[in-house]
């Protein structure tokens, strides 16, 4: 957790890079020790540590080591008997795996739709009342829809990986038939979605109403926009498998999907972290466009959003798009981004999920904490919960959280190897406000909207195009 917090702070203040690396090295060493002890191989702390290392690499490192940690987590899950829907760590793994499989050009590491049937988790004896989560999704429309959409995402990533093999290149008709089958299923499934989601207008924020939207209604609408963006990204992804170098004519399904994503992005307020739910949609829109400098400028601005908002970003995805656009302009040819990624020798990670899906996982986390627990065990739950929820933390709260965790360690007399960097500079940061009930209960997107914006917009890259937008 300390490595993730310091790594996020380092995106704004480079002086935190060394402490982040030190904490990461300590965590990696402790994980290797745990892996050498058979009694620790099936523990939640070992699997959780492996997933946190993956999060660190996604959020901080410029390398592609996140995939190595994710593969390690896969091996641990299989050692524990395979994935289970009731296992909150397995569900968090599925969110990371499906996102990574789409953007890195490979299939999922674990087969099967093991993340489904979330609603049945309440049947587990937890000695607690079941809570709706996120609180604004009382009908589970958003949660159920995204989990079902993940099934199509997994199938698309598997087909994409197959199409890139020697077998796939020699059997284009087979690839096309499989793609058409997925497309038909996706269209049929989407028509069965609730009309308030399926038919949502991109202008929903400015439509006349007899009374303003309540906070839950507002957050639900934001999550619907995110899901619609992901669905349209699936359409682009699917057609790209069939025609990776084909230029889509205006009015085609792919062109309409890309324009819908761009329109959603244009009308999404900036500075609240809402862009995180649009990252994958924006990336695929960037793949679909051709010689469209206005769209490039919009995508560039959205994907290079303020680093203080979220630990998840699309830096490497934007880097790939920049190279793709430059070559397409220079050669006047449509290129396959997957081939370009292989040429670069990287495994790009672009988050596909809605932020509130992370909160759904963390809600289950504390439901597993026994009523009587030793401080050292409670600390591991606190670390993991806040690391998963860190997507909703501003830089100020990460800074406060880092120091709060260190105080927790010391107050309980817990030894910890390595040096703790408890000297985060907070001179420019206001004291964190006391948490009220709305902040405690706000999940996902709500977390982005709590508290003032602290850090100025990132300067440099994309500055000129941002001013035009």
Model pLDDT, residue 38: 86
Under 8 Å between Cβ of 433 and 257: no
CA distance 64 to 58: 8
- The alpha carbon of 381 is separated from its chain's Cα centroid by a whole number of angstroms, namely 21
Under 8 Å between Cβ of 277 and 229: yes
Model pLDDT, residue 362: 42
Asked if pLDDT for residue 136 goes beyond 80, the answer is: no
CB atoms within 10 A of CB 69: 22
Please state the φ and ψ torsions of residue 299, each to the nearest 5 degrees: -65, -40
Which of 88-97, 226-235, 242-251 has the weakest average pLDDT? Answer: 242-251
Under 8 Å between Cβ of 48 and 380: yes
Residues 6+ apart with CB under 8 A from 16: 6, 7, 9, 10, 421, 424
R_g of the chain, CA atoms, integer Å: 22
Share of the chain above pLDDT 70, in %: 69
Model pLDDT, residue 352: 76
- The alpha carbon of 317 is separated from its chain's Cα centroid by a whole number of angstroms, namely 13
CB atoms within 10 A of CB 407: 11
pLDDT-based confidence at 438, cuts 50/70/90? very low
Tokens of 296: 């490039």
Asked if pLDDT for residue 437 goes beyond 90, the answer is: no
Asked if pLDDT for residue 400 goes beyond 60, the answer is: no
Q: What is the mean pLDDT of residues 363-377?
A: 43
CA distance 105 to 343: 13
CA distance 252 to 406: 55
Asked if pLDDT for residue 343 goes beyond 70, the answer is: yes
């Amino acid at each position: 957790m300390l490595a993730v917090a310091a790594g996020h702070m380092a995106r704004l203040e480079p002086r935190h890079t060394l402490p982040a690396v030190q904490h990461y090295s300590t965590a990696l060493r402790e994980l290797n020790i745990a892996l050498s002890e058979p009694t620790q191989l099936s523990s939640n702390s070992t699997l959780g540590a492996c997933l946190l290392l993956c999060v660190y690499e996604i959020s901080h490192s410029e390398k592609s080591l996140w995939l190595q940690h994710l593969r390690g987590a896969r091996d641990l899950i299989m050692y524990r008997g395979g994935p289970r829907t009731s296992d909150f760590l397995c569900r968090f793994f599925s969110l990371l795996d499906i996102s990574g499989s789409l953007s890195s050009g490979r299939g999922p590491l674990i087969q099967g739709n093991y993340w489904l049937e979330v609603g049945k988790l309440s049947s587990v004896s937890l000695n607690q009342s079941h809570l709706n989560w996120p609180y604004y999704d009382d009908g589970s429309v958003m949660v159920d829809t995204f989990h079902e959409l993940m099934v199509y995402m997994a199938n698309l990533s598997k087909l994409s990986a197959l199409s890139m093999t020697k077998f796939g290149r020699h059997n284009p008709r087979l690839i096309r038939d499989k793609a058409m089958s997925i497309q038909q299923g996706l269209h049929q499934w989407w028509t069965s979605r609730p009309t308030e989601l399926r038919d949502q207008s991109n202008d929903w924020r400015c439509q006349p109403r007899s009374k303003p939207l309540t906070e839950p209604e507002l957050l639900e609408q934001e999550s619907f926009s995110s899901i619609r963006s992901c669905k349209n990204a699936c359409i682009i992804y699917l057609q790209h498998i069939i025609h990776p170098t084909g230029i889509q004519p205006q009015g085609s399904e792919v062109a309409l999907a890309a324009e819908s994503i761009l329109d959603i992005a244009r009308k999404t307020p900036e500075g609240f972290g809402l862009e995180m739910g649009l990252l994958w949609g924006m990336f695929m829109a960037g793949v679909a466009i051709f010689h469209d400098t206005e769209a490039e400028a919009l995508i560039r601005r959205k994907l290079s959003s303020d680093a203080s908002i979220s630990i998840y970003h699309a830096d490497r995805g934007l880097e790939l798009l920049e190279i793709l656009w430059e070559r397409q302009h220079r050669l006047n040819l449509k290129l396959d981004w997957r081939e370009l990624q292989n040429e670069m020798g990287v495994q790009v990670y672009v988050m596909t999920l809605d932020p509130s899906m992370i909160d759904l996982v963390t809600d289950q986390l504390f439901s597993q904490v026994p009523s009587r627990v030793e401080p050292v065990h409670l600390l591991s739950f606190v670390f993991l919960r806040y690391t998963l929820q860190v997507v909703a933390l501003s830089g100020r709260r990460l800074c406060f959280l880092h120091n709060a965790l260190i105080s927790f360690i010391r107050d309980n007399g817990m030894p910890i190897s390595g040096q703790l960097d408890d000297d985060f500079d907070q001179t420019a940061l206001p004291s964190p406000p006391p948490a009220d009930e709305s902040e405690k209960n706000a999940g996902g997107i709500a977390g982005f909207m709590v508290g003032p914006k602290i850090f100025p917009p990132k300067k440099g890259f994309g500055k000129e195009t941002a001013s035009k937008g």
